[in-house]
Amino acid sequence: MNNDARLPPQNASPWLVLLTVCLGAFVAPLGMASVNVAIPALAEDLGANAVLVSWIPTVVLISNIMFMLPAGKCADLWGRKRLFFLGVCINAGASAVAFLAQSIEMVLVLRFIQGIGSAMMFATSMALLISVFPTDKRGLPLGLNAACVYLGLTLAPALGGWVTEAFGWRFVFLLPLPIAAVVLSILLRVKGEWHGNQSGRFDWRGAVLFAAVAVCLALGLAGLPGAGHIALVVLAFILLVLFIRMQARATTPLIRVQMFRESKLFSMSLASASLMYASSYPLGFMLSLYLQYVRGYSAGEAGQILLVQALTMAFVAPVAGRLSDFVPARWLASAGCACTLVGFALLSTLDAGTERADIVLALLLIGFGFGFFSSPNNHVVMHSAAPHEVGVAAATLNLARVMGNLVGMSMVNLLVHWHLGERAMSRAIAEPLLLTFHQAINVTLCFLLAALVFSLLRGGTRAAATSE
């Protein structure tokens, strides 16, 4: 593939773009994940049962999947900075309105809208970095971006817990607003705009068809093994096949599916990423419930424990990103997979009396592993895309992440449905919750083993070298 670097416009500062993207990469997951620790207080105040509560993290994923590819294509057509700016506005606006929500249904609707904004941000952030940094200097920026994403995802429970205890669950939705305001003010100072192929048309039929795939898959996975939900999953795969055939024949496709056949490096890296993220997203949700309902920690204490993973990833990801300019991603990312696998294996031994130090050790290993996996993996995926397709490539990478998140969270929703049903959230559910936690971790271990295999099979090409 063509890997020529696209230099930024003369007046644009790459480091100002990096600052904006990193702040955005922090604020989007902060808004998504900070609510997890506030779920018990929110559920009690709004009278929500376990099934409705489990949809709070899931509905964001559905809207992410529905709008990720369209956002990436729109960014290439109409401007990556413009789409990023609009995404920040939508994300922050939905968070502000959620502060006033009076029902769990209203919260879910606003979380869906919030997911649209975060999809636009995720789909354009890495594309912006690729647009302004030359090929041999992308490792550190992509590493810092990855660090901010995971810092936001894992720091969010700590901040959410503190805010919930001090002010109440509603104020958790206001957490992203100050940072979003800073992002918008800085972005207005960034001169220039970056596009892909502006001569193409937006594939509305493809966008609608892929949205149908996302909805059918999410609803189907959430209600298995019911017959109607099995039918939805089957329908999702049928629609996915139709989508792939449509995109392969389209003159201006939403995504050029030939990208997957042209580069083993690209396809294997995406597969590995999707499986890794299938293990990571449900962890904050399940571990937060375990710490509060099984161990009896407060929301603030639970958030402090979860903070360990964030700090570790924040330190490791930029280092791994810089190393990916010189060391084959195969070994860096695979070592990260293996380390994460060991961390989750330790979590599989948790019970009602596990020492806090053992939980912290497991989170340290997971944070180190994800930090060493994400940056090199992101670098090699983005490097294997042609300059005019980096928006779609970034969206595809983030789509792989969100699809993994959806599969992982849907698996947890299924286990919650089986073991907890519509029981009220309280300390009385500690025993079935612990069973749910152990089963979720066991499935996650299978995901991680598969991710390690795909990571090793991708080949030994350096991220900074010419891709296969």
Question: Does residue 198 have a pLDDT over 60?
Answer: no
Burial 187-208 (b: 16+ CB within 10 A, else e): beebeeebbbeeeeeebeebbe
Per-residue pLDDT at 462: 41
Stated as kind and residue range, the H or E segment containing 176 is: helix 176-187
Rounded CA separation 28/26 (Å): 6
Per-residue pLDDT at 465: 38
Question: Does residue 403 have a pLDDT over 90?
Answer: no
pLDDT tens, 149-197? 777 766 777 788 788 888 888 898 888 899 999 999 988 888 777 776 6
Per-residue pLDDT at 343: 92
Question: Does residue 7 have a pLDDT over 70?
Answer: no
Per-residue pLDDT at 449: 92
The pLDDT of 34-62, averaged and rounded, is 79
Question: Does residue 89 have a pLDDT over 90?
Answer: yes
Q: Could you tell me if 280 and 313 are in contact, meaning their C-beta atoms sit under 8 angstroms apart?
A: no
Higher pLDDT, 373 or 436: 373
The pLDDT mean for the chain works out to 79
pLDDT tens, 305-364? 877 887 887 788 888 877 877 777 778 888 999 999 999 999 888 888 888 888 899 999
Return the half-sphere exposure (C-beta side, CA atoms, 13 A cut-off) of residue 156.
33
Closest CA to 410 of 216, 268, 239: 216
**462: β partners:** 328
Closest CA to 432 of 260, 288, 293: 293
The pLDDT of 393-417, averaged and rounded, is 76
pLDDT tens, 101-144? 888 889 899 999 998 998 888 888 877 887 788 767 777 787 78
Per-residue pLDDT at 300: 72
Question: Does residue 299 have a pLDDT over 80?
Answer: no
Stated as kind and residue range, the H or E segment containing 461 is: none
In the block, tokens 């779920």 appear at 39
Winning range, highest mean pLDDT, from 51-55, 205-209, 414-418: 205-209
Question: pLDDT confidence of 459, banded at 50, 70, 90?
Answer: low
N-term to C-term CA, the chain: 8
Higher pLDDT, 335 or 28: 335
Per-residue pLDDT at 291: 84
Amino acid of residue 409: M
Region of 307 on the Ramachandran plot (φ > 0 left; ψ -120 to 50 alpha; else beta):
alpha
In the block, tokens 């595809």 appear at 396
Higher pLDDT, 351 or 414: 351
